[in-house]
């Protein structure tokens, strides 16, 4: 469950108010990673942090604003766990590979935490509002980063020039959706093996000729 | 919105009680196709069918039992719209192709109705109970039918014998998840073109040699 914690400054460096807010956000992130953003209520958070409902409510204007902040906290965590380590890899296929593999690992985690970018998309696709907007913003940032990595893999000569980058993004994103679905709904951990083999095959089939 | 209606006997052939139940289920199916199974409340159904909450409640033991019946009604509709027409196609690749293409068309419908097998999986993957069980039963029936069609395409000599049927099932199912995600959350209708081209390429690359 450590992965679901928000990495923020130590409480002693913060004002009391922001330390409490951090505590609430940590609890909310943990609840939402199990029961979705829609599973978040001021009530269940208050129970976990042992505060009154009005105490929790005072830190966020509304349930929607709390959900938006949880999406932001998740985005930050995603950047740290999935994206930042990939930037240490060389540009091109090594970096793209690292981005995909750590994302898949995170989406199929045995700790029952889900990828909000995936579960949130399904929860909010039909719910216009600030939570959907925030989720979409995060997902678009991630998709842009993936697309950039695909294009770099082409310019670095790792993948062939004739490759349709948008189509490859669709393929890779769909595989991540498949892993999330099969591991969480079907409870079939074998999907990760199938997915990793498939990604290897896709990259091999689209290798640039020397 | 016609697609979301339950195809049942005309009300005059039914007892008054079952006609009302059918009416409630039709309304519930329409609401859930827009806001998900979790978006169903006795309250919003009562409003649509112009009944009291207790009147709606009397036909179903609980909200969960209503959701289960909605999943069953959706399953029946899915069988009629997606599966039954495919059975008219010759065994093998023509049938498999028809199953996938009408599923994708349904999952990316401009009428904002979603595929419950996909949206429900994301909503209930972390919620043990009778609704998840019913959804899982339906999804497994559909996956078994897809797997059978893949295997038939191999025995009919349309796809190569060395093909891993489970891996192909994962690929096709992931593409459907991708279309659902991109058309509903990203609101990008182009994904259907990319998906159809990809499926064509996958089948071509796995054709049995003559």
pLDDT tens sequence for chain A (210 residues): 344 445 455 555 557 778 888 899 999 998 888 778 888 888 899 999 999 989 888 888 888 999 999 999 999 999 999 999 999 999 999 999 999 999 998 887 655 567 889 989 988 888 899 999 999 999 999 999 999 999 999 999 999 999 999 999 999 999 999 999 999 999 998 999 999 999 999 999 999 986
Predicted TM-score of the model (pTM): 0.89
Q: How many other CB atoms are there within 10 angstroms of residue A16's CB atom? A: 8
Round to whole Å and give the CA distance between A40 and A30. Answer: 10
Mean pLDDT comparison of B19-33, B55-69, B91-105, highest-scoring range: B91-105
Partner residue facing B122 (CB), from A122, A167, A195: A122
Structural domain includes residue B210: no
CB-based contact, B36 to chain A, within 8 Å = yes
**Residue B209 DSSP code:** P
Query: What integer pLDDT is reported at residue B12 of this predicted model?
Result: 56
Query: What integer pLDDT is reported at residue A3 of this predicted model?
Result: 43
Query: Reduced to 3 states, what is the DSSP secondary structure of residue B207?
Result: strand
Structural domain includes residue A35: yes
Q: What is the pLDDT of residues B7-48, one digit of tens each?
A: 455 555 557 778 888 899 999 998 888 778 888 888 899 999
How is residue B33 written in tokens? 């196709």
Query: What integer pLDDT is reported at residue B142 of this predicted model?
Result: 97
Share of chain B above pLDDT 70, in %: 90
Residues B205/A202, Cβ–Cβ less than 8 Å: no
Round to whole Å and give the CA distance between B95 and B158. Answer: 11
Query: What integer pLDDT is reported at residue A10 of this predicted model?
Result: 56
Structural domain includes residue A3: no
Partner residue facing B185 (CB), from A38, A121, A186: A121
Query: Which of B31, B34, B118, B122 has the most A C-beta neighbours within 10 Å, making it the best mutation to test the interface with A?
Result: B122
Share of chain B above pLDDT 90, in %: 64
Closest CA to A130 of A37, A43, A39: A37
Contacts of B112 in chain A (CB under 8 A): 126
pLDDT at B5 over 70: no
Structural domain includes residue A84: yes
Partner residue facing A122 (CB), from B35, B123, B191: B123
* Residue B55 CA: distances (Å) to CA of A166, B25, B164: 51, 13, 52
Query: What integer pLDDT is reported at residue B1 of this predicted model?
Result: 37
Q: How many other CB atoms are there within 10 angstroms of residue A209's CB atom? A: 6
Query: What integer pLDDT is reported at residue A5 of this predicted model?
Result: 47
Query: What integer pLDDT is reported at residue B165 of this predicted model?
Result: 97
Residues 6+ apart with CB under 8 A from A92: A149, A152, A153, A155, A156, A157, A158
Round to whole Å and give the CA distance between B6 and B77. Answer: 6
CB-based contact, A175 to chain B, within 8 Å = yes
Full domain range(s) for residue B188:
2-205
Q: What is the pLDDT of residues B116-160, one digit of tens each?
A: 899 899 888 888 999 999 999 999 999 999 999 999 999 999 999
Q: How many other CB atoms are there within 10 angstroms of residue B190's CB atom? A: 12
Query: What integer pLDDT is reported at residue A57 of this predicted model?
Result: 87
Total number of domains in chain B? 1
Query: What integer pLDDT is reported at residue B111 of this predicted model?
Result: 55
Query: Which of A30, A122, A199 has the most B C-beta neighbours within 10 Å, making it the best mutation to test the interface with B?
Result: A122
CB-based contact, B122 to chain A, within 8 Å = yes
Give how far B139 is from chain A: nearest CA, Å: 9
How is residue B163 written in tokens? 């093909």
Query: Reduced to 3 states, what is the DSSP secondary structure of residue A159?
Result: strand
CATH of the domain at B30: 1.10.357.10
In the numeric block, the tokens 């039963």 are attached to B137
Q: How many other CB atoms are there within 10 angstroms of residue B137's CB atom? A: 12
Query: What integer pLDDT is reported at residue A110 of this predicted model?
Result: 57
Structural domain includes residue A2: no
Round to whole Å and give the CA distance between A179 and A183. Answer: 6
CB-based contact, A121 to chain B, within 8 Å = yes
Structural domain includes residue A210: no
Structural domain includes residue B59: yes
Q: What is the pLDDT of residues B157-201, one digit of tens each?
A: 999 999 999 999 999 999 999 999 999 999 998 999 999 999 999
């Amino acid at each position: 469950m450590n992965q679901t914690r928000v990495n923020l400054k130590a409480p002693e460096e913060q004002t009391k108010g922001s330390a409490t807010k951090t505590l609430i956000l940590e609890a909310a992130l943990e609840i939402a990673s199990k029961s979705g953003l829609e599973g978040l209520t001021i009530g269940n958070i208050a129970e976990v942090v042992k505060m009154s409902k009005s105490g929790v409510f005072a830190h966020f204007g509304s349930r929607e604003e709390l959900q938006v902040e949880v999406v932001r906290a998740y985005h930050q965590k995603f950047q740290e766990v999935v994206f930042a380590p990939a930037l240490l890899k060389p540009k091109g296929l090594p970096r793209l590979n690292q981005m995909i593999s750590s994302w898949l690992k995170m989406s199929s985690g045995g700790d029952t935490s889900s990828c909000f970018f995936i579960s949130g998309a399904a929860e909010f696709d039909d719910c216009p509002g600030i939570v959907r907007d925030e989720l979409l913003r995060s997902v678009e940032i991630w998709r842009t980063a993936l697309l950039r990595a695909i294009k770099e893999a082409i310019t670095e000569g790792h993948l062939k020039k004739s490759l349709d980058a948008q189509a490859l993004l669709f393929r890779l994103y769909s595989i991540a959706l498949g892993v999330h679905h099969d591991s969480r709904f079907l409870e079939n951990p074998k999907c990760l093996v199938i997915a990793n083999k498939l990604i290897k095959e896709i990259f091999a089939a689209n290798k640039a000729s020397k």
